[in-house]
A and B are shown apart, each in its own frame.
Chain A
Amino acid sequence: MAVVEEYYDVVVVGAGHAGCEAALAAARLGLSTIVFTVSIDSIALMPCNPNVGGSSKGHIVREVDALGGEMGKNIDKTFIQSKMLNESKGPAVHSLRAQADKKMYSQAMRETMEHTENLTIRQAEAAELIVEDGRLTGIRTVSGAIYHCKAAVLCTGTYLKARCIYGDVSNPTGPNGLQAANHLTASLIEHGILVRRFKTGTPARVDGRTIDYSKMAEQFGDKVVVPFSFSTDPASVQKEQVSCWLTYTNEETHKIIRDNIDRSPLFTGVIEGTGPRYCPSIEDKVVKFPDKERHQVFIEPEGLYTTEMYLGGMSSSLPEDVQYAMYRTVPGLENVKIVRNAYAIEYDCIDPHQLKHSLEFKEISGLFSAGQINGSSGYEEAAGQGIIAGMNAALFCLGKDPVILDRSQAYIGVLIDDLVTKETTEPYRMMTSRAEYRLVLRQDNADLRLRGIGHDAGLVSDEDYEKMLSKKESIDREVNRLKTTILGGNETVNAFMVKHGSTALNNGTSLAEMMKRPELDYEILAEIDPERPDLPADVVEQVCIQIKYEGYI
Chain B
Amino acid sequence: MSRFTEKGKTFAAIATAMSPGSIGIIRISGPESFEAIQKIFKPAHAARFSKMETHTVHYGHILSENGTVIDEVMVLLMRGPKSFTAEDTVEIDTHGGILVTQQVFERVLSTGIRVAEPGEFTKQAFLNGRVDLSEAEAVMDLINSKNAFAASAALSQLQGSVKNKIQSMREDILDAVAYIEAALDDPEHISLDGYTAQLKAKLEPMKTSIDRMIETYKDGAVLKEGVKTVLLGKPNAGKSSLLNALLGRERAIVTDIAGTTRDTLSEQVNIGGIGFEFTDTAGIRETQDVVETIGVERSISQAQEADLLLFVADASLPLDENDRRILKILKEKKSLVLYNKTDLTPQLTIEELKEYCAPETILPVSAKTGEGMDAIKNRLVEMFRAGELLYNDEVLITNARHKEALENARGSLLQALEGISEDVSEDFLTIDLLDAYEALGRITGETLDDDVADRIFEKFCMGK
Contacts and interface: CB of A to CB of B under 8 A. Distances in A.
Given A86-B184, A439-B431, A279 B463 contact: yes
Interface of A: 48-49, 55-56, 85-86, 88-90, 92-93, 203, 277-280, 285, 288-289, 292, 295-296, 298, 312-313, 315, 422, 431-434, 436, 438-439, 518, 552
8 contacts: A49-B464, A85-B188, A93-B425, A278-B457, A289-B461, A431-B181, A432-B181, A518-B423
Nearest to A431: B185
Interface in B213-265: none
Interface stretch (B102-110, B288-296, B448-456): B448-456
Contacts of B425: 88-90, 93
A55 B187 contact: yes
Interface of B: 1, 3, 177, 181, 184-189, 192, 422-428, 430-431, 450, 452-453, 456-457, 461-464
7 smallest CB-CB distances across A and B, nearest first, come from: A90-B425, A277-B457, A433-B181, A90-B427, A89-B425, A93-B427, A278-B462
Contact of B187 (A49, A86, A288, A312): A86
A88 to B, nearest CB: 8
A279 B431 CA distance: 26
B263 to A, nearest CB: 57
A431 B425 CA distance: 17
Contacts of B185: 55-56, 431-433
A298 B188 contact: yes
Nearest to B1: A552
A516 to B, nearest CB: 11
Given A90-B424, A313-B463, A313-B464, 13 more contacts: A48-B464, A86-B184, A90-B427, A93-B425, A278-B463, A279-B464, A280-B462, A422-B450, A431-B181, A433-B430, A433-B456, A438-B427, A439-B431
A85 B428 CA distance: 17
Chain A interface SS verdict (over half): loop
Nearest to A298: B188
Contacts, number: 79
A57 to B, nearest CB: 10
B450 A552 contact: no
A454 B10 CA distance: 41
Nearest to A285: B461
B178 to A, nearest CB: 8
A432 B427 contact: yes
B187 to A, nearest CB: 5
- Looking at B3, B177, B452, B457, the one whose CB has the most chain A CB atoms below 10 A away is B457
B361 to A, nearest CB: 37
The winner among B1, B3, B427 for most chain A CB atoms within 10 A is: B427
A295 B463 CA distance: 10
A496 B371 CA distance: 84
Contacts of A288: 461
A131 B273 CA distance: 67
A280 B463 contact: yes
A214 B72 CA distance: 85
Contacts of A277: 457, 462
Nearest to A312: B464
B462 A296 contact: no
A436 B430 CA distance: 11
Contact of A280 (B3, B422, B430, B461): B461
A287 B308 CA distance: 45
A279 B189 CA distance: 13
A31 B188 CA distance: 43
Given A90-B425, A433-B453, A203 B184 contact: no
